[in-house]
Amino acid sequence: MTKDITIEEFDGVLARAGLVVDAAERARLYEGYKGLQTLLARLPQDSAMEAELATVALVPGAKVVR
């Protein structure tokens, strides 16, 4: 579980990222950040590496050898 940050701490995050936003956009970004943290907290923390699905990307025309 992550610690909730205050809007003042979030202002520091924006400043470190070099973002200059107006008050309305700042509030929207802050709410989005809190929503993202909520979703991230729901992810399983103890899944084994073997449980992860493999992702394979092939370029068009690639030859597959099994």
Residue that wins the pLDDT comparison between 12 and 53? 12
Domain of residue 14: give its range: 7-44
**For residue 59, what are its two tokens?**
């370029």
d(CA 38, CA 13): 18
CA dihedral 10, 12, 18, 20 (to 10 degrees): 60
pLDDT at 21: 95
Give how many domains the chain has, as a whole number: 1
Decide if 53 is inside a domain.
no
Average pLDDT, the chain: 88
Q: Is the pLDDT of residue 66 over 80?
A: no
Mean pLDDT of all residues in 5-32: 95
- Amino acid making up residue 16: R
Which of 14-23, 36-45, 57-66 ranks highest by mean pLDDT? 14-23
In a domain, 62, yes or no: no
Closest to 13 measured CA to CA, from 40, 36, 39, 42? 36
